[in-house]
Each structure stands twice: as structure tokens, then as C-alpha cells.
């Protein structure tokens, strides 16, 4: 069976309107961000290199890179690497690979728009000194406990630090000594002073936010050059401004951080560090998907506690896990387009993601036959040692994808569910003969019509084989086939020619749609049936399946040759998804 992995590829989804696109189009019409030599739309995807990306990040990637693509702009990939104790080159590498796999690039016009916050450490430090000199920042020497207590809460205003009015020269000297390594971790911290009454602000993030902390830690890019590191909320807006970002898109949890974002870039623009217009931040709702957890801490717990086999376990919502499961980049782009972009927080059911996946795979996945729970079928009147070649289309709606062929022999494999000793009402597969009627006639799909004549059992009463006779003139595709009218039509493979293969039947990792809601321990709602491994028998052409090649196994769903464990001539298959969403019925 010769199959093109890329045949009948689905077209990219057409973009739909949303409030972010409306903002961008309004800015384009007004010429808000028109600057010589620069696109009028520059976005960025700014992950922290401290973990693996998940499906929520995929939504952000599709939004940021998609806007740049659709409005002839560009999207920067920037690593906000300001926390050296949790960051690693491993995460940088996998993030870059995930963005490329999703179909996006940070290269434009021969230039690579790949950035790191650590590239700006010298400029960030210079701007911090400027803020101190202008009275917009001070060094706070409170203990962490006192600082937390004096910050107040949502119902209680904060209390000014006793160091808030520290002389500029003193703050500047301590800050320089912090940089020189003269203090221990936590001894001092640099904080912003947005206004005289900032500690009374109803917005907690306005209450003298931290700008720099002491961390004697090795950085994966800058080594041991620095022992003070800028905070994310300080670094992010400055990085945006240095990169001429026009629309800084983030999730709703950063909405309260916007006043500081605006204040910081405006203040530094007034100081001559940036040209106007400066970037502006816009928030959209994060992806809340049922039956998964997306907290980095909880995902790491799944890995560290060996609940899953790793970050790329096909049950994980990580991009590497989804890829290994068999998801396509196009299906994730289609999913992101369907769920849209809004400010309304809500939940997206897993079935929406699965639906996008099926819609993408259906027109391009070649068909194949697999018997997952095998039962021997013996054709008693078929000659021993002979075979008849049968054929079927690689795809029923795409004849250009060609034909596949497989042999019909005396012994076959069928599914266990295709035989029933005592049939229930409406059952139209194999049933044995009785005193008052013959055994059921069934068509072996793409093959012959056969009639059940009996069955074998072992000493424990288990059915071990079903016996049938075939009708030689009933082969599918021949004139004689029309002479036989049967209700049952089942899949099968030749016992002597089938490929024996490991098949992994994956399902949702959790049995609860909200596994970490209401204070519950997500470990207590793990789905015990999230993975079942079976030895299956597949039509012989699948022997040459390549890693990441996807198929529809007739009756069973969509499957992919595992990208890690498959070997030449010995593929291992993962179930990507079933043909229909049956989870609600469960």
C-alpha cells in the first residue's frame, strides 16, 4: 500500500472577526503604528523557558503569529528568561520546535526575529538606575514577611515601606552594590514608586511593584555575570518597547498589570529610551479546557510522580504530547480559530478540540483495517495454502490516493465483538446455526460473503474460533456480489499475512471535567482507562508506515505511528481519537 502522508491536506481556516482584529484594523486605518522601515503590526509570543508549552500556549501562538501573517506584519519569538533558577536550554529548544511544528516562523525577509530578555539586561539595568535617579524607584530593605504584611490586601490599603523615602543617592548606591554582589539573596529589592499614594491603590499590582531582586544563580545564557535579575512585570513591557511591538497580547490575569505596563513605557519614553508610539497591552481570555490540567506545577507533578511517561506522553495537553498523540498542526489551528478570541472567561469542552481534529483528519487520513481484539475465523471450505487478493480504496472520497490490497486466506482475524453465541435483538454479525435456522451470513468487507457453521471453545468456556463457509461467487466488486443480501459487514485481516503490532488506546487522562476545581486533588480523578495497550493485527501494508503517519482504522478511529517508538517495519500505533465522541455517553 503506497500512501502519501500529505495527500488531501486541509486548507488553513479562514480567520474570523474578533475584538483584537477590530483593534488592529482600527489602528491600521488611523496609521497609529506607522513607522518608517517597520511593519504596522508587530506582535510577539513571549514564553518563559521554564517548562513545556501546552494547548493554551498553542492558542496564543496561533493568535500572535496569525495576526502578523494576516496583516503583513511580523511576530517575534522572545524568551522572557529572567528566572535563572527554573530555566533551561531544554525548554528553549522544545519551545522553538513546537512553534515551528505548529506552522509558524519568526523569520521574515531574511531576518530572524528571535529575542531573549537576557539580551536586554544591560539596558534594563540602565533604565532602573534612571528610575531611581528620577524618584520613580527605591531600594526596599524590609524582610519578605514585613513587605507582604505592609502590602495590604484587596480590602485593606497598603502601608508605605519605611524605606520608601530613602534618599536617591542611597538607593542608587545600594542598587549598584546589589549588582556587585555585596548582598545576600532577599536582603534588598528594588521597587517602583508609581505615585505618592500608590500603596493605597485598589489595584494590588500598583502597590510599589518589585523591579529587581537579588539571585545568586547561574543563568543559562549569561552565566554568572549577574546576581540581580529583573522581574517579569518590569522586563516584559520594556522588551516590548525595545522590539517596537505594536500590540502586546496577553491573557486576562494580566489585566491588573496594564496600568504598570503603561506607566513604565510612558515614563521611559519620556526619558528618551523609546520613541513613540509605545506598545499597548490588550487582554483576552485564557483557554480553559475540560478534562485537563494546564498549571505548570501540576503538569510537572504528573511527570515527576511518573503518573505519565514524560512531557510528551500522549495523554498530556502539552504540544509535544499532542503531537505524539497524533494531533496535526492544522487541527490545532482550526481549534484556535473555532474557539475564537474574547474577553469572556469560560470553559471549552474537550469535544470541541476532538471535533477539530476529526474534521482535519477525515479528508486526508488513508483508511486501513485493524483488528484490536482478535478472534480466529476459519473458512473451512477455502483451499489450504491459497489466497485471493482483495482491494479497497486508500480513501473513499479521494480516488487519486490510490488502492490498497490485502490477501484473503483460510484463517482470518476478526473482532471478538463480531461473534455472539446468543444474539441480542438487532445483532447482525456472526451467530451460530440453531435447530431451526442456519448460522448468520455476513460480508467480510472488501471480500466474500460467509456463513457461520459453528465455533470452538476452550476448557474455560471461552470462544477460540468461529467456523464459516464462503461463497466463491460473492467477492466484492464482482457481478456475483449483488446476489447476496446481508445485513452484517465486518472488517478482517489474514491471520498468516497480518502485521502484529502494539496499539495504544489512549483516552482522557481525567474522569472529571474540572480535575483541579473546588480544591480537589487532581490525582484522585485520574481516569484508570486512560491507556490500554493491546496486541493487534493490521492489514499488511501498514508495515511500512512511517513515524507520525496517520490513518483511519475502519470502525475504530484515527491512529498514528508513534514518532518515538516506531521502528522500520515495526510501527507502534497510538489512537489519536475515536470516530465519534462517545465520552458523554460514558
287 carries a ligand binding annotation = yes
Q: Which of 164, 286, 300, 555 is the catalytic position? A: 286
- CA 3 to mean position of chain CA atoms: 26
48 is in an annotated binding site: yes
The backbone region for 186, taken as left when phi is positive above 0, alpha when psi lies in -120 to 50, beta otherwise, is left
Please tell me which residue in 48, 129, 502, 548 is annotated as part of the active site. Answer: 48
Q: Is 251 annotated as a binding residue?
A: yes
What three-state secondary structure class fits 239?
Answer: helix
Residue with cell 498468516: 496
Q: Do the Cβ atoms of 537 and 370 come closer than 8 Å?
A: yes
Helix (H) / strand (E) element for 179: namely helix 168-179
CA gap 448, 429 in Å, rounded: 14
Q: Which of 35, 166, 179, 296 is labelled catalytic?
A: 296
Give catalytic status of residue 384 as yes or no.
Answer: no
Label the pairing between strands 107-108 and 111-112.
antiparallel
69 as an active site residue: the answer is: no
234 annotated as belonging to a binding site for a ligand: no
252 is in an annotated binding site: no
* 163 neighbors 196 (Cβ within 8 angstroms): no
Q: Is 221 a catalytic residue?
A: no
Consult the annotation and say whether 286 binds a ligand.
yes
Only one residue has cell 435447530, namely: 435
Taking Cα atoms as reference points, which of 27, 131, 12, 142 lies closest to residue 65?
Answer: 12
Helix axes 258-270, 121-133, angle to 10 degrees: 80
> Is 352 among the annotated ligand-binding positions?
no
E strand or H helix at 334: helix 329-339
Cβ atoms 372, 536 nearer than 8 A: yes
Burial class (CB in 10 A: 0-12, 13-18, 19+), 142: middle
Report phi then psi at 49, rounded to 5. Answer: -80, 60
The answer to whether 523 is a known ligand-binding residue is no
Helices 232-242, 121-133: crossing angle, 10 deg rounding: 110
Is 26 a known ligand-binding residue?
A: no
**Which residues are catalytically annotated?**
48, 286, 296
Annotated binding site for L-glutamine: 80, 232
Binding residue numbers for ATP: 48-50, 251, 286-287, 294-296
Task: List the binding residues.
Answer: 48-50, 80, 232, 251, 286-287, 294-296
Amino acid at each position: 500500500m503506497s500512501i502519501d502522508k500529505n495527500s488531501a491536506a486541509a486548507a488553513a481556516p479562514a480567520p474570523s472577526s474578533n475584538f483584537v482584529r477590530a483593534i488592529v484594523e482600527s489602528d491600521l486605518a488611523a496609521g497609529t503604528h506607522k513607522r518608517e522601515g517597520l511593519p504596522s503590526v508587530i506582535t510577539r509570543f513571549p514564553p518563559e523557558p521554564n517548562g513545556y508549552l501546552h494547548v493554551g500556549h498553542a492558542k496564543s501562538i496561533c493568535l500572535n503569529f496569525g495576526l502578523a501573517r494576516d496583516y503583513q506584519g511580523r511576530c517575534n519569538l522572545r524568551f522572557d528568561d529572567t528566572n535563572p533558577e527554573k530555566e533551561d536550554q531544554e525548554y528553549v529548544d522544545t519551545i522553538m520546535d513546537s512553534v515551528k511544528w505548529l506552522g509558524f516562523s519568526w523569520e521574515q525577509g531574511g531576518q530572524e526575529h528571535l529575542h531573549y530578555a537576557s539580551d536586554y539586561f544591560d539596558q534594563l539595568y540602565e533604565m532602573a538606575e534612571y528610575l531611581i535617579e528620577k524618584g520613580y524607584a527605591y531600594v526596599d530593605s524590609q524582610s519578605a514577611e514585613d513587605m507582604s504584611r505592609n502590602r495590604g490586601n484587596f480590602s485593606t490599603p497598603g502601608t508605605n515601606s519605611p524605606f520608601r523615602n530613602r534618599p536617591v543617592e542611597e538607593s542608587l548606591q545600594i542598587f549598584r552594590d546589589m549588582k556587585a554582589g555585596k548582598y545576600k539573596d532577599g536582603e534588598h529589592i528594588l521597587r517602583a514608586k508609581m505615585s505618592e499614594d500608590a500603596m493605597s491603590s485598589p489595584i494590588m499590582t500598583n502597590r510599589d511593584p518589585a523591579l529587581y531582586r537579588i539571585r545568586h544563580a547561574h543563568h543559562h545564557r549569561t552565566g554568572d555575570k549577574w546576581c540581580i535579575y529583573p522581574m517579569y512585570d518590569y522586563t516584559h513591557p520594556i522588551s516590548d518597547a525595545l522590539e517596537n511591538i505594536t500590540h502586546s497580547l496577553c491573557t486576562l490575569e494580566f489585566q491588573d498589570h496594564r496600568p504598570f505596563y503603561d506607566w513604565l513605557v510612558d515614563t521611559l519614553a519620556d526619558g528618551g529610551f523609546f520613541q513613540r508610539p509605545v506598545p499597548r497591552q490588550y487582554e483576552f481570555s485564557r483557554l480553559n479546557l475540560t478534562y485537563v490540567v494546564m498549571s505548570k506545577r501540576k503538569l510537572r507533578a504528573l511527570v515527576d510522580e511518573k503518573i505519565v511517561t514524560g512531557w510528551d506522553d500522549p495523554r498530556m495537553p502539552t504540544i509535544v504530547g499532542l503531537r505524539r498523540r497524533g494531533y496535526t498542526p492544522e487541527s490545532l489551528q482550526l481549534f484556535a480559530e473555532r474557539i475564537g478570541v474574547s474577553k469572556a472567561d469560560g470553559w471549552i469542552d474537550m469535544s470541541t478540540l476532538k471535533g477539530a481534529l476529526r474534521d482535519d483528519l477525515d479528508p486526508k487520513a488513508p483508511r486501513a483495517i485493524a483488528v484490536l481484539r482478535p478472534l480466529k475465523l476459519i473458512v473451512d471450505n477455502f483451499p489450504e495454502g491459497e489466497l485471493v487478493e482483495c482491494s479497497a480504496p486508500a480513501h473513499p472520497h479521494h480516488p487519486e490516493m490510490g488502492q490498497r490490497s490485502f490477501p484473503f486466506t483460510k484463517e482470518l482475524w476478526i473482532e471478538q465483538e463480531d461473534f455472539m453465541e446468543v444474539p441480542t435483538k438487532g445483532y447482525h454479525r456472526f451467530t451460530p446455526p440453531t435447530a431451526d435456522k442456519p448460522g448468520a451470513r455476513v460480508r467480510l468487507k472488501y471480500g466474500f460473503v460467509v456463513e457461520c457453521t459453528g465455533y470452538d471453545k476452550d476448557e474455560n468456556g471461552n470462544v477460540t474460533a468461529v467456523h464459516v463457509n464462503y461463497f466463491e461467487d460473492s467477492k466484492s466488486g464482482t457481478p456475483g456480489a449483488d446476489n447476496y443480501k446481508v445485513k452484517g459487514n465486518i472488517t478482517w485481516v489474514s491471520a498468516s499475512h497480518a502485521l502484529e503490532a502494539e496499539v495504544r488506546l489512549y483516552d482522557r487522562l481525567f474522569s472529571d471535567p474540572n480535575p483541579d476545581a473546588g480544591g480537589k486533588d487532581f490525582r484522585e480523578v485520574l481516569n484508570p482507562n486512560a491507556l490500554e495497550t493491546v496486541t493487534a493485527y493490521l492489514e499488511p501494508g501498514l508495515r511500512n508506515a512511517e513515524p507520525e503517519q496517520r490513518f483511519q482504522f475502519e470502525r475504530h478511529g484515527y491512529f498514528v505511528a508513534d514518532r518515538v517508538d516506531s521502528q522500520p517495519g515495526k510501527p507502534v500505533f497510538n489512537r489519536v481519537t475515536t470516530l465519534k465522541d462517545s465520552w458523554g455517553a460514558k
